[in-house]
Amino acid sequence: MSEWQSGFVDADGLRLHYTRTGGGKPPLLLAHGVTDDGLCWSRVTAQLARDYDVIMVDARGHGRSDAPEGGYDPGRQAEDLAAVIATLDLQKPAILGHSMGAATALVLAGTRPDVPAAILLEDPPSWWTDWYDGADGEARRAEMRTRFLGLKEKSRETLLADQRAEQPDWDESELEPWADAKQRFSPNVLEVIAQDNPRHVDWPAILPRITCPALLIVSDPDLGGIVDDQSAAALKALVPQLEIAHVAGAGHNIRRDRFERYMDVVRGFLGGIQSDREP
């Protein structure tokens, strides 16, 4: 990790922080979920840096990036990511996103279909359905807000101890970046889970514009996975080239719950993309 580069990009006056492995290899941009930050991808990056120039971005309001009062809708976050790609002159990067970051990747690929070489989506919020509507959606949003703010109030030591007890299958290397991110995020980012936030995007219009290869990585809803069979089928109807990979025994944090299987899926898909791009 000591050789990884760190820097900032200006995105329409907003400073966005990134960490990058470099090396002139095919670019792979990683977009984290809400209340995580770029370094939460460190274990994945360590596995992929030999073959890829991995760029871990702190989304607005997270990590060392600026935290404006607003602008946390998927469209604005996609523009942030596009600014990173343009400023760093990344040519046709693959984009791997988790949760909020996966939604960002979907919007970027739909609004700027010439930019990504491929998108990989780890359990995105099913905003192309009515997942966030109704009484269930309201209760879900309230629970998330309470949980995230509660985590932010805890000490680092308590965060680590509680998460070790709650997630005994997580590798130790996941815990410190996770805890640090929970102390760094701005409460402003909770706009992400507001009821009207996903409606800033016309999902039925944007998603069919995606032309690049796409992979949806899903887990088990009874363990906390968001994407179920119905919402996966709805996304595939909008993005016909979408491939779907199920990782059994995992919840919403698929890579943290079942790291080896997750990495096999990611490497396999990326390897296929690279083979297709080679002359």
The pLDDT profile of the chain, 279 residues, written as one tens digit per residue, is 658 999 999 998 999 999 999 999 999 999 999 999 999 999 999 999 999 999 999 999 999 999 999 999 999 999 999 999 999 999 999 999 999 999 999 999 999 999 999 999 999 999 998 766 666 777 888 888 999 999 999 999 999 999 999 999 999 999 999 999 999 999 999 988 876 677 788 999 999 999 999 999 999 999 999 999 999 999 999 999 999 999 999 999 999 999 999 999 999 999 998 666 654
CA distance 174 to 75: 29
In a 13 Å sphere around the CA of 57, the CA atoms on its Cβ side amount to 33
Count other C-beta atoms under 10 Å from residue 159's C-beta: 21
DSSP annotation of 65 reads: S
Where are the strands (E) in 106-189, listed by range? 118-122
Task: Give the length of the chain.
Answer: 279
Q: Are 88 and 182 in contact (CB under 8 A)?
A: no
Count other C-beta atoms under 10 Å from residue 50's C-beta: 10
Question: N- to C-terminal Cα distance for the chain?
Answer: 32
Cα-Cα-Cα-Cα dihedral of 129, 135, 141, 144, to 10°? -120
Across the chain, what does the average pLDDT equal? 93
Per-residue pLDDT, 279? 47
CATH number where 186 lies: 3.40.50.1820
Range of the domain at 50: 5-277
- How many domains does the chain fold into? 1
Tokens matching residue 209 = 């514009």
Residue of 172, 246, 189 lying closest to 63 (CA atoms): 189
Count other C-beta atoms under 10 Å from residue 158's C-beta: 12
Q: Is the entire prediction scored with pTM above 0.85?
A: yes
Residue of 131, 116, 107 lying closest to 208 (CA atoms): 107
Residue of 161, 180, 170, 30 lying closest to 105 (CA atoms): 30
